[in-house]
Amino acid sequence: MGTGSAVTGVRRWQGHPFALWVADMDFNCHPAIRKAMEKRLAHQIYGYSLKDPAYLPALISWYRRRHQWEIQEPWVLTTPGVVPAVNYIIQRFSQPGDKVLIQTPVYYPFARSILNNGRQVADNPLKIEGGHFQMDFNDLTEKVKDPRVKLAILCSPHNPVGRVWTREELDTFGRICIENRVLVIADEIHCDLVMPGFKHVCFAAISDTFAHHSITCLAASKTFNLAGLHQSSIIVPDPVLRRELHAQLENLGFVDADGGTCSGPWPRPPPTIRPSPGWRT
């Protein structure tokens, strides 16, 4: 019987001895992960599951220790992947015809998610300066002046160019977006895969203002090679943004998207996004 593994099955079968792509590694996963999965498998009842009470403390501890970001439990929503989350955010926080800014060359599903949802791509291409990819802040400033730009997707660290954005770069990017009321989607899925000598800075940890104008997408999938488990943590510090995204997840049929902590009902979401001074609607 086939394993269904993309990296060791299909790719190798197509003649590549090692796929060696960044998103899906050829390495076995850590024995602790295998042990936990074997324990769950041995239980033999695969009905509806509750979220493990260790999940949120583990997530919070990881980001505190590794990235000096104090995530609060209520901020965490869960989705079956970062790409799904990007789609849900686009759906909830923009309207068909609006624009979503990306910095090409970038992970191709971003553009696909924008276009599939009937939105337009606002491209702020990276430029090469001094042998490095850099953000083009002059172009960014021009692009976000367009009132149709509602969202900006930050890929940090950047796939595929491999840049670990500095605090200064993130600060400039964030200030330009926020001054123009553009909500930032920070995809930080690769934050643990950083070369020695470099430091990932979490966008939302830079300031309270950045935290309240961003939604950060995290997952253990790249760090621990677990993409097939389809689990990601979406960090939404702002309560209004969180309620909106939670409502979107409910609309899509996710009944327990709150990270397992909030069993009480959320306040009824408004039928449309409430005008807010914080971001464009």
Q: In this complex, which beta carbon is closest to ligand PLP, that of residue 159 or of residue 180? A: 159
- Does 82 engage in binding with ligand PLP (CB under 6 A)? yes
* Only segment of 44-52, 75-83, 142-150, 244-252 that touches ligand PLP (CB under 6 A): 75-83
CB of 57 to ligand PLP, least distance (A): 22
Determine what percent of the chain falls in helix, strand and coil, rounding each to the nearest 5.
35, 15, 50
How far is residue 155's CA from residue 106's CA, in Å, rounded to a whole number?
8
What would the two tokens of residue 238 be? 């702002």
* Binding pattern for the stretch 94-133 against ligand PLP, x by CB under 6 A and - elsewhere: -------------x--------------------------
- Does 219 engage in binding with ligand PLP (CB under 6 A)? yes
Dihedral over alpha carbons 188, 191, 197, 199 (to 10 degrees): 50
How far is residue 249's CA from residue 272's CA, in Å, rounded to a whole number?
15
What would the two tokens of residue 163 be? 């840049």
* Only segment of 28-36, 81-89, 139-147, 266-274 that touches ligand PLP (CB under 6 A): 81-89
| SS3 readout for 125-170 | CCEEECCEEECCHHHHHHHCCCCCEEEEEEECCCCCCCCCCCHHHH
Give the bridge partners for 234, in sequence order: 77, 217
- Does 83 engage in binding with ligand PLP (CB under 6 A)? yes
Q: What is the DSSP letter of 10?
A: I
Number of amino acids touching ligand PLP (CB under 6 A): 13
**Cβ proximity of 247 and 269 under 8 Å:** yes
**Among 23, 33, 226, 229, interactor with ligand PLP by CB under 6 A:** 23
Q: Hey, which residues between 129 and 168 contact ligand PLP (CB under 6 A)?
A: 155, 159
- Does 203 engage in binding with ligand PLP (CB under 6 A)? no
Reference 115, options 136, 142, 86; nearest CA is: 86
- Does 216 engage in binding with ligand PLP (CB under 6 A)? no
* Only segment of 30-38, 77-85, 138-146, 255-263 that touches ligand PLP (CB under 6 A): 77-85
- Does 189 engage in binding with ligand PLP (CB under 6 A)? yes
Give the Å distances, CA to CA, from 187 to 21, 106, 231, 251: 19, 11, 14, 23
* Only segment of 43-51, 164-172, 178-186, 219-227 that touches ligand PLP (CB under 6 A): 219-227
Q: In this complex, which beta carbon is closest to ligand PLP, that of residue 158 or of residue 213? A: 158
Q: In this complex, which beta carbon is closest to ligand PLP, that of residue 7 or of residue 273? A: 7
Reference 88, options 111, 106, 113; nearest CA is: 113
- Does 221 engage in binding with ligand PLP (CB under 6 A)? yes
CB of 36 to ligand PLP, least distance (A): 19
Contacting positions for ligand PLP (CB under 6 A): 23, 81-83, 107, 155, 159, 187, 189, 219, 221, 227, 232
